[in-house]
Amino acid sequence: MMSQPSGCLPTELLSSLLPVESSLLVHRYVEALWAITKRKTGLSAFHIDAAGYSPEVAQELEDPFYLGQGIDHPFFIVLSVDQLGGPVIQPNMGLAAYPYRSFTFEHRKEIASLTLTEPLFGEMGHGTSRFFDPSQLQQVCRVDLEVRTPSDRLGLSMELSGKREALLESDHLWYDEDFVERMLDLARRVEGLFPPPFRLMSRTLPVGPSFVPNWGGCYVYPIDPDEEGGQRILLTSRTNERSAVKPSVRSSHRDNLLEVPLTVESVVEFLEGHGFVEVEKPFEQLSVNRLQELMGWVSLDHLIRIQWDLESHIGPCPDLADAVRMMRMERTPPAVFAELDAALWKVRYPSAGLNWSSLSALTRLRLSTPIPGDDRKAAFVRHLQAFLDPIDLSRAHDDAKDLLYARYASLDEWKKRFFLAWLKRRESTVRGSSSATL
C-alpha cells in the first residue's frame, strides 16, 4: 500500500497543485468535504490536485485515503476548473482516474459555470464495495460517476424539469396551487440552471488503463474498454504467489484475462512481446539529455549508499552531473551504470554497436520507448517504468506524480535535496522558455 504524502511538502513540489488560500475557497472545500465524507479540515490554506485531493489535509487527518470510502472507492471535489489542468495524486483514485479525466475534459464548460457559485463533489463507484483478489480488478468495465453540489441545484433542476413535463402534459395541474408554488420555488433555488445539464448528472464511463495501489500495486489495461467482454491485462505482484519459480505470462480463457507477474523481468518480456514498446530500433527515440539525467539518478543512488559524507564532496548546490562525474572516478562503477554509459555512447554515435538483448532487464525497461500513436498505451508504459524503477525520480515526476508524492516522505534526505534542486532548475527553465514564446 502506498505511504502517506508528507504534510510538509516543499513549494517546488506543490507548484503543480491548485492553492486554496482564500476564505471563500476554503469554506467551499470544507462544505463539500463534510457533505461527502462527514469530515472537516481546520487548515486555512492548502493545495489540491485535479480531483480535490490535498496532501496537507491527508496529513492533518492522518488518512491518505480520506477523500473516499477507503482505498477502493474514491470521491472528488472541484472548486475551480483551474485545478483540472493539474495532476491526479490521489492515491485511491485507481480505476476511476481515466473516467474522471475524460469526464472533466468533456464537461469543462458546464463545470466552469457551476463552480462560479459553489463547489462540485461526487463519487465514482464500480459496483464492488471492496476488492479481495487482484483478479476482481479486471471485472470492472465501467465506473458510475455521480455529481452533486451543496445546494443540490442539479437535483432541483432535474425535479423542475420533470414537473415542467408533467405540467405540459396535464390540464388539471395548472389549477393545482401547491404544484405551481413548488415549481416557482424550484425556479428560484435553481438560479437559472435550467434546463438541467443532463450529461453532467449521472454518467457511466468506461475504465481505461489504471494503476491501483492495492496489494502493493497493480495495473489493469483493457484492450477494448467499451466492450463488456473485451480482454483485460492484469499486472500484479500477487500473481507471484501462484507462479512457478520463473515468472511467466499466463492467460486465463475463463475470464479472458492475461495475467503478468509484476517483476522487472516479466514486465519487460510482456511489453516487448505484445507490442507496447519499440524493440527493433530501441535507441532511436532516446535523447542524450534523458540518458544523462537517468545516469545522474543512478549515480546518486549508488553514492548515497556507499558514502556517508557525500555532502562535503557535492557542495551547497547539488547537481546530477556532479554525481555522474564522481561515479566516473569510481574504480568499479556498478554494471547498470556501465550499461547506461554504453547506451549514451550508442546514441551519440549511432554507428557504434550495442546489443540490446545483452542489457539487463532493468536497463531495457529504463530505456524502452512506447510505440508511437497510442497515448493511453504510452502513459501506461511510462507509469510502469516509474513504478518498477523508484530510483529515477524524473520519470516519476513527469509521468507518475501519484507515485512521487507517495514516495517523497520516505526518500533519503540527500535524495530529497537533489530532487528539489533538480526540480527548481527545471521549473526555472520551463518558465524562461514559456516567457520567451509569449
Residues 180, 186, 192, 197: what is their CA dihedral angle, to the nearest 10 degrees?
Answer: -110
Contact predicate 368/275, CB 8 Å: no
Quick one: which H or E segment has residue 112?
A: helix 108-114
In the chain, the number of structural domains is 2
Coil vs helix vs strand at 211: strand
**Same domain (yes/no): 284, 192:** no
**Same domain (yes/no): 295, 182:** no
**Same domain (yes/no): 171, 290:** no
Contact predicate 163/139, CB 8 Å: no
- Per-position pLDDT tens, the chain of length 438: 455 555 568 888 888 899 999 999 999 999 999 999 999 999 999 999 999 999 999 999 999 999 998 788 899 999 999 999 999 999 889 999 999 998 899 888 888 888 888 899 998 888 777 788 888 888 888 888 888 888 877 777 777 777 787 888 888 888 888 888 887 877 777 776 666 665 666 678 888 899 998 888 999 998 765 555 567 889 988 654 444 334 444 544 445 778 899 999 999 999 999 989 988 888 888 899 999 999 999 998 888 888 766 666 665 566 888 888 888 888 888 999 999 999 999 999 988 888 998 999 999 999 999 998 888 899 999 999 999 999 999 999 999 999 998 888 888 888 888 888 888 887 766 544 332 322
- End of a domain among 198, 225, 258? 198
Residue 185 domain flag: yes
Which has the closest alpha carbon to 33: 60, 71, 1, 5?
60
Residue 265 domain flag: no
CA distance 280 to 146: 45
Domain extent, residue 427, equals: 280-369+389-437
pTM, 2 dp: 0.84
Contact predicate 41/60, CB 8 Å: yes
**Same domain (yes/no): 193, 306:** no
